Amino acid sequence: MSQLSTDKLSVAFAGLKALSDVDLAIKPGQITGLIGPNGAGKTTLVNVLTGFQAPTGGAVSMNGTALTGLKPHQIRRKGIARTFQGGRLFRDLPVIDNLEVTGVGLGQSRASARAEAAAMLDWIGISALQNRIAGTLPYTDERRVAIGRALIGKPAYILLDEPAAGMSGPEAAELSALIKRIATEMGCGVLLIEHNVGLVLNLCDHIVVLDSGMVIETGPPDAIRSSEKVRHAYMGTAAETNLPVLEVLA
Ligand SMILES: Nc1ncnc2c1ncn2[C@@H]1O[C@H](COP(=O)(O)OP(=O)(O)OP(=O)(O)O)[C@@H](O)[C@H]1O
Ligand SMILES: [Mg+2]
């Protein structure tokens, strides 16, 4: 079966259980939401899926084949791409070079990497930014460039770590439309980590809720919206980012 999945995945940091027996599956063409309060383990999960963090238990597999022990660049070549919570572009390089460098890193010739980079910027609708120095972009554009870079080489899966953080309503809506197109037009399997739970409920086919490293709920948006466990998990935390979440839960 075609999917990226974890089986009883666990990560412990010197006694702190960041993830405990997490089962999750991301499917081509679908958007899977991953939500949970600050420190729930969301980024740690993406780090394990992309080879940046070794698990202390359990396994990651793609289409039935284990990915255990592979390095980040090897996982990227297998078609699993990500963005980072902070963007992480090459700030001194023009936008198009940021994408081209990734294509070259994946083994393309410079000419074909350049052509794919240009086509990708066009597909996203940001061709006008191609010669801008990445470090000078407003962060809404920076995020879209980071997503474009992750899509170079046509990955089967893309993992987005808080792509809408700090965006206004209209900016987040525009980003939502892009994420939807990644799933429907590219057939990519998307994992979307977001504190903007309204956005996640609107966009995702399936949602997984983490709290203190454990999956406390999974299901379609309606089930999450009305879940007492989810509401309770967010109520137990004082962080400001978690407060608006309670407003969109039933
Ligand atoms: N390298 C590390 N060493 C030690 N502890 C870590 C490390 N990385 C994460 N942690 C801890 O693991 C837990 C999960 O962190 P993680 O960053 O995965 O949470 P998160 O759900 O992404 O949070 P946020 O919503 O704030 O981004 C936290 O308690 C965090 O402090
Ligand atoms: Mg995080």
Per-residue model confidence as pLDDT tens digits over 204-225: 999 999 999 999 999 999 999 9
- The pTM of the whole model exceeds 0.85: yes
Give residue 244's pLDDT: 64
Q: Residue 89 CB: number of other CB atoms within 10 A?
A: 21
CATH 3.40.50.300, the chain: domain bounds: 4-79+158-248
State residue 240's pLDDT score. Answer: 54
CA of 8 to the centre of ligand 2 (A): 20
| pLDDT reported for residue 210 | 97
Q: Is 6 in the pocket of ligand 1 (CB under 6 A)?
A: no
pLDDT of residue 139: 87
Pocket perturbation via mutation, ligand 1, pick of 16, 211, 212 by most ligand atoms within 8 A of CB: 16
24 lines ligand 1 (CB under 6 A): no
One DSSP character per residue, 166-178 reads T--HHHHHHHHHH
> Nearest to residue 88, comparing CAs of 33, 34, 161, 156?
161
Query: What one-character DSSP code corresponds to residue 240?
Result: G
pLDDT at residue 68, rounded to an integer: 85
Q: Is the CB of 18 under 6 A from ligand 1?
A: yes
Quote the radius of gyration of the chain (alpha carbons, Å).
18
Give pLDDT, residue 182.
98
Q: For residue 67, what pLDDT is reported?
A: 94
Distance 38 CA to ligand 1 centre (A): 8
For the chain, list residues with pLDDT below 70.
Answer: 87, 236-244, 246-247, 250
Specify the CATH class of 4-79+158-248 in words. Answer: alpha beta
pLDDT of residue 162: 94
Rounded to whole angstroms, the Cα distance separating 111 from 108 reads 8
Vertex 57: Cα angle to 74 and 150 (nearest 5): 30
User: What distance separates the 2 farthest-apart alpha carbons in the chain?
Assistant: 54
- pLDDT score for 24: 96
